[in-house]
Amino acid sequence: MNTQLTQLFRGVILSVGITALSGCGTAGYYTRIIQGHFDIINRQQPIDAWLERTDIDEGLRHKLLLVKKARYFASEALHLPENDSYLYYADIGREYVAWNVVAVPALSLTPKTWCYPIAGCVSYRGYHSREEAQAYADSLTQQGYDVTINGAAAYSTLGWFDDPVLNTMITWRDPALIGLIFHELAHQKLYIKDSSAFNESFASFVQREGVARWYTAQGDVGALNQERQRYQRRRDFLSLLNDTRQALEALYAQDWTTAEALVEKARLFAMLQEKYQHMKTSQWQGYSGYDRWFSRPLNNAHLASVSTYTRYIPAFQQLLDQHGGDLLAFYHETEKVAALPKDKREQVLQALLLARDPTQ
C-alpha cells in the first residue's frame, strides 16, 4: 500500500474511532479537524517536485533545499524518526495552520485540559479556523476563564501521517525553520498522553539542542553565537515570567476575596510589563523580540502557554549532560522517565531541575 493510501486508510480508521468515542456535541468538532487535515494532505506535493519547477521563487527554493538538508540531519545526527515527514510541501493559503485556545481559571495557573482519543489530554483546543477558535474562546471568557489564542505554524500527527512543510513556517528565519522540524519530529520520537508540559518541553529541548548541533556541524560560528545569544535572552524572558508566576501562585494561595485578588493580579501583570521594558533597555540594548508577546493583554492563560513549552527544559539538559551529550543514551533515559507513573515522573523531573545550575 503506498504512502497516500496508507494515510487515507489511517484517516478513515481515525475518524471512525473518534466518532465512536465522542458524543454528539464533539463529533462535529472532530469531523472539522479531520476535514482540515485532509485538505492539507490534498494540497501537498513532494519537495523534489517543487524543486524541479522553474517557476518557483528563489527564496522558496532556498528554504526547501534547507529543509531537505535539515530533514536528513534530523535522522542521521539527531536520531529522530526517518520517514516521509517534511519531505512534502503544501501552501494552505493562510497565516497559521491552526489556532490553539488556552484557558485558565481567573485565580489559578492550572490550565483547563481537553482529552482526545489519540493525543490524550492536552492543555489547549485546536481549530483550523480562526473564527471558530475565537467563538470558542469567547464562550470560555464568558464562563470566567482567562483565555488566549495562539496561532500555530505546524503541528504533529505523532506519526499517523507524514507531516508536510507548510507555507505557514517556510518564511521563518533559517534556525527557526529547521528548529521547528526538529521539534515536530521529536514529538514522533517520544510522546506520552496527558502530559503537555513534558511533551512540549522535551520537543523544545530537542529543537534547541538540534539547532546548536546543526550550526556546529556547519562550522558556522557566527550563527551559533547568535543562537546562544537568543537562548540567553530566552532565559532572561523565562526568568522574568517565573518571578511573576511565583508571585501569582502565592497570591492565589491566600485567603483573599475575589475582588481583592483580582486587583492584586492586575498589579502583578502591570509590574511584569514594567520589568520587561526595563530589561529591554538595561540588558538587551533595545532588543524587541518579545514585544509581540507583551503586546497582547497579559493573563493567566498567556503565562501558561509559555510554561507548557519550557517548564522542564533544564531537566532535559541536565539529563543529557549526565550522559555526556550522548543523544541515544539521553533518549533511552528519557523514555524510562516517561514510562514512570505520573507522580514518580514528576519527582524525577523536579530532582533534575534542582540539580541544574540555574545560570546555565
47 and 119 housed in the same domain? yes
The pLDDT mean for the chain works out to: 89
Residue that is last in its domain, among 218, 240, 265: 218
Closest CA to 194 of 141, 250, 115: 115
**Position 201 in a domain:** yes
Overall domain count for the chain:
2
Closest CA to 12 of 46, 37, 40, 44: 37
Cβ count within 10 A of residue 293: 14
228 and 200 housed in the same domain? no
What is the model's pLDDT at position 358?
A: 52
**Position 183 in a domain:** yes
- For residue 203, give every residue at least 6 positions away whose Cβ sits within 8 Å of its Cβ, in sequence order, or none: 183, 184, 186, 187
- pLDDT band, residue 117 (cuts 50/70/90): confident
75 and 208 housed in the same domain? yes
37 and 183 housed in the same domain? yes
Distance CA 65, CA 98 (A): 25
- For residue 75, give every residue at least 6 positions away whose Cβ sits within 8 Å of its Cβ, in sequence order, or none: 81, 82
Residue that is last in its domain, among 190, 218, 246: 218
Closest CA to 37 of 133, 136, 129: 129
19 and 156 housed in the same domain? yes
202 and 241 housed in the same domain? no
Closest CA to 122 of 65, 172, 197: 197
Residue 23 has pLDDT above 60, yes or no: no
260 and 337 housed in the same domain? yes
107 and 197 housed in the same domain? yes
Strand-pair category, 125-127 with 98-105: antiparallel
CB 128 within 8 A of CB 82: no
- pLDDT band, residue 29 (cuts 50/70/90): confident
Residue 175 has pLDDT above 60, yes or no: yes
32-55: average pLDDT: 91
Closest CA to 125 of 117, 109, 137, 139: 137
**Position 309 in a domain:** yes
> Would you state the cell numbers that stand for residue 18, as one nine-digit string?
473518534
CB 206 within 8 A of CB 346: no
> Would you state the cell numbers that stand for residue 62, as one nine-digit string?
532556498
**Position 360 in a domain:** no
What is the model's pLDDT at position 157?
A: 84
203-226: average pLDDT: 95
**Position 211 in a domain:** yes
70 and 127 housed in the same domain? yes
Residue 67 has pLDDT above 90, yes or no: yes
> Would you state the cell numbers that stand for residue 81, as one nine-digit string?
524518526
What is the model's pLDDT at position 198?
A: 94
Residue that is last in its domain, among 182, 199, 218: 218
- pLDDT band, residue 122 (cuts 50/70/90): confident
> Would you state the cell numbers that stand for residue 138, as one nine-digit string?
469567547
Tell me which of 11-20, 91-100, 231-240 is least confident: 11-20
Residue 243 has pLDDT above 60, yes or no: yes
What is the model's pLDDT at position 316?
A: 96
| Full domain range(s) for residue 17 | 3-218
What is the model's pLDDT at position 176?
A: 95
Bridge partners (DSSP) listed for residue 90: 166
What are 63-72's contacts with CB under 8 Å, separation 24+?
63/170, 63/171, 63/177, 64/89, 64/165, 64/170, 66/174, 66/177, 66/178, 67/165, 67/170, 67/177, 67/178, 67/181, 70/177, 70/178, 70/181, 70/182, 70/214, 71/181
Report the predicted TM-score, pTM, of the whole model to 2 decimal places. 0.84
